């Protein structure tokens, strides 16, 4: 196994913490973002590679694949973390709000995984970890588009697990709940207190809570875990 990981959406939040923890585990970390950023400076690892990537562009993804292939640093671990929100009540939701979220969160997932899965199949080793959301499991008002894209990740990941398990490739889903990131800054303190009442652990999670789970799923300790959804939500949603 080569210790190379590709993390999409690595410039902030969960993705940035994931990149940091993988770096501490001795991985060569390749991080992507829509905007310009320096991952090495952000995580204190000069060997980390930063890439601007447009998930809505097949060409952008294929270009990244060819660059990594030419450098002989194709990843054995893929973390599909990047995603966007365009929240609106369904009756007011514009076609553009739906299309952009599905195109980025779901079709982008397909494009990135399709591009990087073949070397894993060839090497008979790989880890695909897709970052969904508790919103994809239980729904959320104002997020029909986002919840749909995150729910679809489950079917995608489980189908992939069934197809590629015999090749020693695992495919799992991590579904964060309310996490202290930029995506929850719109909530004021009173809102957070009210939301926390529905969380058995009575607090929001941290990016480290989520990142530790992701790194575990990529480790040898998770060799026999595939096709699973692990909710990192403090008990907010239970099957």
Is 146 catalytic? The answer is yes
| Cα-Cα-Cα-Cα dihedral sign, residues 61, 154, 3, 21 | positive
Residue from 27, 146, 224, 239 carrying the catalytic annotation: 146
The residue length of the chain stands at 239
Query: In this structure, are strands 77-80 and 169-176 parallel, antiparallel, or unpaired?
Result: unpaired
Cα 81–158–200 angle (5° rounding)?
65
What gap in Å lies between CA 73 and CA 216, rounded to an integer? Answer: 22
The residues assigned a catalytic role are: 146
């Amino acid at each position: 196994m080569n210790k190379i990981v590709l993390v999409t959406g690595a410039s902030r939040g969960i993705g940035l913490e994931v990149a940091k923890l993988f770096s501490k585990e001795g991985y060569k970390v390749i991080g992507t973002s829509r905007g310009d950023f320096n991952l090495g400076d952000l995580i204190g690892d000069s060997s980390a590679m930063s890439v601007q990537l447009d998930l809505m562009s097949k060409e952008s993804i294929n270009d990244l694949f060819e660059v990594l292939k030419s450098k002989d640093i194709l990843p054995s671990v893929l973390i599909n973390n990047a995603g966007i929100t365009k929240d609106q009540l369904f009756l007011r939701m514009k076609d553009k709000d739906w299309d952009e979220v599905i195109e980025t969160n779901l079709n982008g997932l397909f494009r990135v995984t399709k591009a990087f899965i073949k070397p894993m199949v060839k090497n008979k080793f790989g880890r695909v970890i897709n970052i969904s959301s508790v919103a994809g499991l239980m729904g959320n008002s104002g997020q029909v588009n986002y919840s749909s894209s995150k729910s679809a990740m489950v079917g995608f990941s489980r189908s992939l697990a069934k197809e590629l398990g015999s090749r020693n490739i695992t495919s799992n889903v991590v579904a964060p709940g309310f996490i202290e990131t930029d995506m929850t800054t719109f909530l004021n303190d009173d809102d957070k207190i009210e939301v926390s009442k529905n969380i058995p652990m009575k607090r929001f999670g941290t990016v480290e809570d989520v990142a530790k789970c992701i790194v575990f799923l990529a480790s040898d300790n998770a060799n026999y875990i595939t096709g699973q959804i692990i909710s990192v939500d403090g008990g907010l949603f239970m099957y």
